[in-house]
Structure 1
């Protein structure tokens, strides 16, 4: 499906275990047009656009967690894909986007980073673009519930996968906070 994208000449999707032991799909793509200089990135397909393209035809769990753009796919002497030579996605070495503007954004950035296992996350960084998947999404939603007392639906995260977007969702949730469960005494006799 990825090779059908206009901006992709070659593609390979391979499963890899991440640092937490979860197996995730990672995509390696060669752009249809090679940039003329190292600074020329106009012809490089954007991971968010590739993800959106795949979501039109594949279920979410089959969409790769990360996209790595390469000049060429490594091959063995037999001409087959050399999976061992494929670089691991570098989430930690990427530049963090805009920083948080208020305490809620700071708390959400911290939660995103902890769930994703990254040193930092900007408010415009996409959860799924950073390697998040549906299991991590449920962990994130649980942490948001514990921190803010608000029940997010998984569709909220899929619809607005950034810290800035989720703050707006939390604003709309307003006073729909879950009431804490209060422990009561059990009666002496239970019928």
Structure 2
């Protein structure tokens, strides 16, 4: 059944009216797929375009519905992420793709800047994290002088460079048995050659489900009990090692920090996925 979506919510655009074509010439299968019957007896055409109404009563084009992907159990409209990127003043154009990597499917954004504007990819990722769920924030943002186009003038996704999974911080070797064990586990789970003491698990392409595996390996190899939420709260090798070296003391009352807020959002995403899985089962 078809349901209209409220203002601001993305949905697929359907066209109808007296000027609607009967179908595709000599392509019965495609006609049956794209031209559908509505409840009132009329016919509608599925455009495949992802749009949403804005507060001015205008339709905003977000992308193609066939660019919908599934990451970590969540169905994601890539057009929504692209719209978030293009809404930033320094970004001229943006495209988001889902790449298969050693740690599973990860989102990669490609952006080009407006003239005279400097793109800070770390700040751009932080802005997206404030507006979108954690699982919709790209693992990497790649700045290009211009997005590659095909002969039809559309973005050539196949021509986009595949970014290497590397840290944006200078490598500094972890010191001490706890830090070295944490770094080794991260490198194993993320399938990286090495992980430095200042590297952030999530910035390296890690996510909630991989962190569950890290949690299990940490408890097994360090022979200690660690609350999973602490791995969200201390996402770098150094910060987690320092917390564990202090004896994993009970948290004290303090005002929430940006790191705490991110940890809560990432933990909420994990819990949401678990609830969705329980409903399916």
TM-score, normalised relative to structure 2: 0.53
The structure 2 residue matched to 1:119, chosen from 174, 189, 193, is 193
The more displaced of 79-88 and 138-147 is: 138-147
1:152 aligns with 2:227: yes
CA distance in 2, matches of 1:136, 1:91: 15
Alpha-carbon distance change, 124 to 11 in structure 1, aligned in 2, over 3 angstroms: same
Number of residue pairs aligned between Structure 1 and Structure 2? 166
Q: Would you say 1:133 and 2:216 are equivalent positions? A: no
In the alignment, structure 2 segments of 5+ residues that lack a partner are 1-83, 251-281
Aligned to 1:15: 98
Distance 1:166 1:136 in 2: 16
Cα pair 1:91 1:130 within 8 Å, conserved: yes
Q: Which runs of 5+ in 1 are unaligned?
A: 36-42, 177-191
Match of 1:162 in 2: 236
2:111 corresponds to which of 23, 26, 29: 29
Which ranges of 4 or more aligned residues in structure 1 deviate by more than 4 Å?
92-96
Q: 1:46 aligns with which of 121, 126, 129?
A: 121
Q: Distance in 2 between matches of 1:165 and 1:159?
A: 9
Secondary structure at the counterpart of residue 12 of structure 1: strand
1:170 deviation in Å? Answer: 1.5
Moved more, 145-154 or 97-106: 145-154
State the Cα distance separating 1:152 from its structure 2 match. Answer: 3.1
Structure with the greater relative contact order (CA < 8 A, sep ≥ 6): 1 or 2?
A: 1
TM-score (norm 1): 0.75
Structure 2 CA distance for aligned equivalents of residues 33 and 121 of structure 1 = 36
CA 1:159/1:95 → structure 2, altered by over 3 Å: closer, same or farther?
closer
- Any conservation in 2 of the 1:65–1:133 contact (CA below 8 Å)? no
2: distance between equivalents of 1:174 and 1:24?
31
Asked if structure 2 preserves the Cα contact closer than 8 Å seen for 1:96 and 1:121, the reply is no
Partner SS, residue 16 of structure 1: strand
Please report the RMSD computed on the Cα atoms of aligned residues, expressed in angstroms: 2.4
